[in-house]
Structure formats: C-alpha cells, structure tokens
Amino acid sequence: MINTYQTSVAAPPVPPRLSRSQQVLFPAPSQGHSKSLLRFLTGVVVLHLFLSVGGFIYLKQNDTMHPSQLPSAEGKTAHRSSGKQETSNKALARMVVKKSDQKGAGYLEWDMGHSVLKSVSYSHKMWLTIEQPGDYYVYSRVTFSKLDPKRPLVSIVKLRESEKGKEKTVMQAFCNMDSSGAPQLSTATQGELVTLEKGNQLGVWLHNLSVVSYEDGATTFGIFRL
C-alpha cells in the first residue's frame, strides 16, 4: 500500500519533463533562434520545391525531344559518350568514287577531295593502306549502269598484305539486271569483319570499269576500326 502511494506521489514530476521536451521540438527555447530556424526550414522547403519543379520540367523536355532515348536511362547514355571518346582517334575511311574513263578490269579510283581518311592512307590511286592494326568492318557498295556482255556483275574487295604482297579476295558481291536494253541500275553491297595488320592494303576490283555508275553516293567503299 505504502509503495503504490509513493509511486503515485513520485509521478507528478514527469509531466514537466514531457512538456520541456515538447518545447525543444516545437517552439525553440529562445524566440530569435526559432525565427532563424523557421527561415532556414522555409528556405530548404522552397529550394526543394524549385529543384523538384525544375527537374520535372527538364525531364519532361527530354521526354518530348527524345522519346526513344528515355527508357534507356543513364546506362546507355554513358556507353554512348564513352564510345564517342574512343572513336575520335580510331582509324576509318569513307571513300567517294572518282569518275574515270578507265575501261576493262581494274581497281576503282577514289576522289580524295570528297573522301574522309583517318589513320588510313591512300596509295597508288587505288589502295587503302592500314596504319593501325586491328579488327575492321569493311564495306563496299558498287552500282552498275550496264550489263557486262561477258560476265556477271561483280564487285570484289581485294587485300594484299604489303606493297609487294599477292592480292587475294576478301569478299565479293554480285547483282544482275535484265537484258531488255532499257536503262537500269543494279547495286552490289557487301560488308565483312576483317582483321588487318599495319601495311595491309585494300581495294575494290571490277572486271569491267566501264559499267560502273557514278551517280552521287551510288558507289562507295569504306572501313572503320572496331
């Protein structure tokens, strides 16, 4: 009995402690402090609001500008930007055919005024010479404007290991057109992954240069290091 009475007597001091802790949480001890705290908190809330709205508008704009890119998120964009940095010093060649009156079999000649070469050189008016060894994607597109009476239409990409090396076929592509005599065009396109050493040379060889079309962009040759 005495014990329970004592505890109920000891109870009253507890409420003040509670109210004191409440005072610390809400109205701060001094008025000056509470005002600056309130200003600070308001500032944080307003800043947060601005950042959220700004971020939302930014995302919304991106969404409307590149709808296809949005789902790819950060992973792909990071890949792309790092890829760009790498490709800036990678070897490549994009060749534009040079109009020529050449007849018979031979290599296509390229127009150096319009072709693009990076760490690849051009030799003997027909060969692309490799300076950086590595794996390359090699492609060609040759458009023919006439039938060759003797052979199927074919474009052949040839490789020689060096200036004095023997030429060998890397790839070839064929196409056809009917012999009705009406003006026609036909294109042979090809692409291949080729491992190349420094000094290797590549060219596009045709059985008959007088059947090539020189229409803009119709006949081209290129390589790029992967």
Ligand X SMILES: *[C@@H]1O[C@H](CO)[C@@H](O)[C@H](O)[C@H]1NC(C)=O
Binding residues (CB under 6 A) for ligand X: these are 104, 146-150, 208, 210-211
Query: Among residues 98 and 146, whose Cβ is nearest to ligand X?
Result: 146
CA-to-CA separations, 8 to 11, 12, 113, in angstroms, rounded:
5, 8, 102
Q: How far is the CB of 147 from ligand X (least distance, A)?
A: 6
- Residue closest to ligand X, measured at CB: 208
Which region holds residue 125: left if phi is over 0, alpha if psi is between -120 and 50, else beta? Answer: left
CB of 158 to ligand X, least distance (A): 18
Minimum separation from the CB atom of position 141 to ligand X (A): 20
The length of the chain, given as a count of residues: 226
Minimum CB distance to ligand X smaller for 132 or for 145 = 145
Rank residues 102 and 132 by Cβ distance to ligand X and give the closer one.
102
- Provide the residue type at 190 as one letter: Q
Q: Which of 220, 208, 199 is nearest to 123 (CA)?
A: 199
Ranges of beta strands (E only) in the chain are 92-96, 106-107, 116-118, 120-123, 127-130, 134-144, 153-160, 167-175, 186-196, 201-206, 220-225
Query: Least CB distance from residue 211 to ligand X, whole Å?
Result: 5
Output the smallest distance, CB 81 to ligand X, in A: 49
Region class of 175: left (phi > 0), else alpha (psi between -120 and 50), else beta: beta
The residue (of 132 and 187) whose beta carbon lies closer to ligand X is: 187
- In the bound state with ligand X, the residue whose beta carbon lies nearer, of 13 and 149, is 149
**Would strands 127-130 and 116-118 be described as parallel, antiparallel, or unpaired?**
unpaired
Smallest CA-to-CA distance from 89 within 65, 120, 129, 54 is with: 120
Q: Which is nearer to ligand X, 190 or 208 (CB)?
A: 208
CB of 103 to ligand X, least distance (A): 6
Please give the radius of gyration of the chain, using alpha carbons only, rounded to the nearest integer.
38
